[in-house]
Amino acid sequence: MIILAIETSCDETAASLIEASERGIVVKSNIVSSQINIHRQYGGIVPEVAARAHIEKILPVLKQAIATSGIKHPESSIQLVTVTHGPGLVTSLLVGLETAKILSYVWQKPLMPINHLIGHIYACLASNSQFPILNFQFPAVCLVVSGGHTELVLMENHHQFKKIGQTLDDAAGECFDKVAKLLNIGYPGGPAIARYAKLSSIRNLVSSIQLPRPMINTKDYNFSFSGLKTAVLYKTRKLGKSPTRQYIPEICREVQQAIIDVLVAKTLRAARDFSAKTVILCGGVAANDELRGQLGQKLKTKNPKLHFLVPPKNLCTDNAAMIAVAAYFQYQHLSAKEKNKLKNNWQKIEPDPNLEII
Ligand code: KG4
Ligand code: ZN
């Protein structure tokens, strides 16, 4: 079936068409228009500015996704329209949602709402041209790490998700972004910190900086990152106006490693406790090379039989292909009656900024 997906939950306007069947998934087009350059001047996302940019971009992005998909008659070929309905910024979500509702109504297509975080999980199955289809082996433990969320999710099958842990304060991506802001090294913070951290390891600097690993030894699957940001703030303040040239690379390497150590420890614990067959790393922070490498390595050492899945880097950050793939798997598990009900969704679906996996 051919699926059209729209994603506008935060600061990326995205549309994608996929062709999915039991034989496999082909991403026909995947267009992402990022607002990073707009928000850079503010050092973070300004919701009103984001919503306005979505309004300007949604139609060009949609048209480009259709044009580059090679699909000639979208109104007859597309069988399902899908859209992110939460969590996210309400004014951003509304733009994608209203667009999807109009398409569903005008083209008379079923409309399926998708949870953004579940979309991130399915990004693992969205890399181009997979034949035969890649599938999860259950149970799967999913570490979803983005700018707004840090969660461990247990997935028993394609329609059974349970949140087993989450951050009690800042998300991991938020910690990267806030630390980068206070060090004044650029936006978004994750890639900026990763670049400086790499510089420090290339120079093989031996660091004297030590940061805490918050909650690393607690028996639950929760996280806390706000103390890490405060620790960086105090260390930086102490140096006054004259930090050494080595300071920025060293502190970046240490803060990145502190975040990774906690994420890896909790994921290993959850994988062991729930006898996971698959571990999935996803969300924007999953684009971090060190996190991908270190988690993969540790899992392999602990349990060589475990499958470790992580999306290609371009599918870690927000995109619509992941929403399309999630919709395909969710659709397969609906009864005929439930599928039929999707036709009236254009009248019903509302954005849910606080939508949760429970
Ligand atoms: O999933 P995403 O695109 O948006 C949300 O749903 O939040 O994630 C964005 C987050 C930002 O906090 C950004 O700093 C972080 O992902 N990020 C990274 C890297 N690339 C993006 N964090 C660490 N290392 C990276 N290479
Ligand atoms: Zn996201």
Nearest CA to ligand 1 atom 10: 147
Ligand 1 site residues (CB inside 6 A) read: 10, 146-148, 173, 176-177, 188-191, 194, 283-285, 287-288, 317-318
Nearest CA to ligand 1 atom 11: 147
Q: What is the mean pLDDT of residues 299-325?
A: 96
pLDDT for 141 beyond 70? yes
Task: Report how far ligand 1's centroid is from the alpha carbon of 265 (Å).
Answer: 20
pLDDT for 132 beyond 60? no
In whole angstroms, give the CA distance from residue 246 to residue 264: 27
Tell which atom from ligand 1 comes closest to the C-alpha of 316.
1
Question: pLDDT averaged over the chain?
Answer: 94
Note the helical H segments in the chain.
36-40, 47-69, 74-77, 90-107, 116-122, 172-183, 189-202, 226-238, 247-273, 289-302, 321-332, 336-341
Nearest CA to ligand 1 atom 3: 317
pLDDT band of residue 184 (cuts 50, 70, 90) is very high
Q: Report how far Cα 176 is from the mean position of its chain's Cα atoms.
A: 15
pLDDT tens string 69-95: 999 999 999 999 999 999 999 999 999
Compute, in degrees rounded to 10, the torsion defined by CA atoms 86, 92, 94, 100: -80
Q: What is the mean pLDDT of residues 135-162?
A: 95
Is-contact 321 27, C-beta < 8 A?
yes
pLDDT of the residue at 245: 78
Q: What is the mean pLDDT of residues 118-145?
A: 84
What are the residues facing 271 on neighbouring strands?
none
pLDDT tens string 24-52: 889 999 999 999 999 998 888 999 999 99
pLDDT of the residue at 227: 97
Burial (0-12, 13-18, 19+ Cβ within 10 Å), 34: middle
Q: Record the tokens describing residue 8, joined without a space.
A: 């506008």
In whole angstroms, give the CA distance from residue 22 to residue 38: 41
Ligand nearest to the backbone CA of 146: 1
What are the residues facing 84 on neighbouring strands?
114
- Amino acid letter, residue 130: Q
Tell which atom from ligand 1 comes closest to the C-alpha of 317.
3
Q: What is the mean pLDDT of residues 301-320?
A: 95
Task: Report how far ligand 1's centroid is from the alpha carbon of 173 (Å).
Answer: 5
